[in-house]
Amino acid sequence: MQFNNPPKKTKNMTTLPLKISIGRSLSRLGLFLIPIVFGCFALAQSARAVTPESKGSNPNGNMAEEETAYLDISSDETNATGQPAIEDHPNRRVFRFNFQDLRQCASGNVTMGGELVVTFQNTVTRPWPKPKFVKVTAFNGTVRTGNRKLTAMSVDIKDAVASVLSGSGTFKIEMIVTGPALPGGRPMRFRVLFSPNRYTFHDQLVTQLMPDRTPKVDCIN
């Protein structure tokens, strides 16, 4: 007797559970990575806020150049004439002068007045104030004979000496003044020497300036 077995039906296996499992895993991974990404972004922004680069900063970090700029308080590196100066820093001193002197080369009395502005400066290698720059302002000079006007041509600091132990120093100021000649004569030229000028200092600052107010006037050719 022969039996005919009915053909077996092949069952098709579905992958739906596997797809669902993978999808759930990716979703969980995404939820895990999103806070990390936002955290890294926040840290980067905080780092930029803590260390901003200032405008005009030196990328090489030249400390000596910055220190020189800090120590240097003077902007009057050249001699000039102008309006009366105002003392605005302990290391920038102003003193007035006004004197009259009889000079044979001028054939009479010579009168001079004005202000001298002395700027003291510290350096990295010399941490005590030393007179560095000087200028004359509001200068007024006349020679009585012929009522001739005088002009301050230059002014310089000479022989500056300071002692750290005593906290004091001295220096000279030399001013060159010129004026017109009398008819048939030669133009006038004077050397005015303020000396000695004394000063005291403490902690890199000038505490007192005691200038010479009776300068010596010489006629020069």
Q: Where are the domains of the chain?
A: 17-51, 74-219
Burial of 28 (0-12, 13-18, 19+ CB in 10 A): exposed
Question: In whole angstroms, how far apart are CA 34 and each of 29, 31, 42, 43?
Answer: 9, 6, 13, 14
145 φ/ψ angles, rounded to the nearest 5 degrees: -70, 115
Q: Which residues contact 148 (CB under 8 A, 6 or more apart)?
A: 142, 179, 180, 182, 188
The answer to whether 213 touches 220, Cβ cutoff 8 Å, is: no
43 φ/ψ angles, rounded to the nearest 5 degrees: -65, -40
Q: Which residues contact 212 (CB under 8 A, 6 or more apart)?
A: 194, 195, 196, 197
Q: How many residues in the chain?
A: 221
How far apart (Å, rounded) are the C-alpha atoms in residues 109 and 148?
Answer: 11
User: DSSP string spanning 17-53?
Assistant: HHHHHHHHHHHHHHHHHHHHHHHHHHHHHHHHHHSPP
Q: Which residues contact 82 (CB under 8 A, 6 or more apart)?
A: 137, 138
pLDDT tens-digit profile, the chain (221 residues): 444 555 555 455 544 454 445 455 555 555 555 666 555 555 555 444 443 444 443 433 333 333 322 222 233 443 333 333 445 689 999 999 999 999 888 888 999 999 999 999 988 888 889 999 999 999 999 999 889 999 999 999 999 999 999 999 999 999 999 999 888 888 999 999 999 999 999 989 999 999 999 999 999 97
Question: In whole angstroms, how far apart are CA 116 and each of 81, 90, 155, 213?
Answer: 10, 15, 9, 11
pTM: 0.61
